[in-house]
């Protein structure tokens, strides 16, 4: 066999063997995502981010930025910040019918950092943790903002009225 064809065949087979590994990693371990829209501004605005998919719904903490399937449009993945964990008492935005909500077991309260441009738990209530597909870990681009995604912003001032007792000692215990 021609050496060029043999080399081409070898590289093609090697490439084909890596495709399933690449798909597994990007679907279940980590991937790059682009943030679009203003709901997470100023934290994330048109950024390229690294997200961790492995066990994304475990050990959630207030302040973490998560990606999840929209309860209103399941084909759409959105990005918001965890403001409340199960058992927490949340004061909703003034536009909500219910002014105070206790986050049910197995659910979290999520909000965008830019409240006036965000469709979030204030619109559809707490979301099941099972809808969470990833946690945002790092901003990769633009380089001027590259680094870990900040978890210190805890959401709208006054949103968290009361932390659940189970979460006082170890935040994010599930």
- Give mean pLDDT, residues 137-154: 90
Residue 172 inside a domain? The answer is no
Please choose, from the candidates 165, 157, 133, 140, the residue with its C-alpha nearest in 3D space to the C-alpha of residue 65: 133
Number of domains in the chain: 1
- The burial class, CB within 10 Å (0-12 / 13-18 / 19+), for 91 is middle
81 part of a folded domain: yes
- Position 173 pLDDT exceeds 70: no
**Interstrand relation of 100-102 and 89-91 (parallel, antiparallel or unpaired):** antiparallel
* Inside any domain, residue 52: yes
Q: Are 127 and 105 within 8 A, CB to CB? A: no
What is the pLDDT, as a whole number, of residue 33? 96
DSSP readout, 99-161? SEEEPPTTEEEEE-SSGGG--SHHHH--EEGGGEEEEEEEEEESGGG-EEPP----SSTT-EE
3-41 pLDDT, tens per residue?
888 888 888 888 888 899 888 888 888 999 999 999 999
pTM of the model: 0.85
**Tokens of residue 90, six digits:** 């949340």
Q: What residues are annotated to the active site?
A: 39, 80
Give the single-character DSSP code of 81. Answer: E
Mean pLDDT, residues 83-97: 91
Tell me what pLDDT residue 1 has. 77
Percentage with pLDDT > 70 across the chain: 93
**Mean pLDDT estimate for the chain:** 89
pLDDT in tens, 102-135: 999 999 999 999 888 899 999 999 999 999 999 9
User: What band does 162 get if pLDDT is binned at 50, 70 and 90?
Assistant: confident
- What spatial distance separates the first Cα and last Cα of the chain, rounded to whole Å? 60
Confidence of residue 167 (pLDDT cuts 50, 70, 90): low
Mean pLDDT of 60-71: 96
Q: Which residue has the higher pLDDT, 127 or 166?
A: 127
| Structural domain that includes position 17 | 3-167
CATH number at residue 106: 2.10.109.10
> Left if phi > 0, otherwise alpha if psi is -120 to 50, otherwise beta: which for 155?
left
């Amino acid at each position: 066999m021609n050496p060029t064809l043999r080399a081409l065949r070898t590289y093609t087979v090697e490439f084909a063997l890596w495709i399933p590994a690449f798909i597994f990693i990007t679907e279940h371990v980590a991937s790059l995502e682009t943030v679009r829209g203003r709901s997470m501004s100023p934290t994330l605005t048109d950024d390229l981010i690294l997200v961790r998919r492995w066990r994304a719904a475990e050990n959630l903490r207030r302040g973490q930025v998560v990606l999840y399937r929209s309860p209103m449009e399941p084909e759409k993945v959105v990005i918001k910040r965890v403001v409340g964990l199960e058992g927490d008492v949340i004061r909703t935005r003034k536009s909500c019918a219910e002014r105070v909500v206790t986050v049910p077991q197995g659910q979290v309260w999520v909000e965008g950092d830019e409240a006036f441009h965000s469709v979030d738990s204030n619109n559809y209530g707490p979301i099941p943790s099972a809808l969470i597909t990833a946690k945002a870990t790092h901003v990769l681009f633009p380089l001027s903002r590259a680094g870990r995604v900040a978890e210190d912003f805890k959401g709208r001032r006054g949103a968290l009225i009361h932390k659940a007792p189970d979460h006082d000692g170890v935040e994010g215990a599930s």
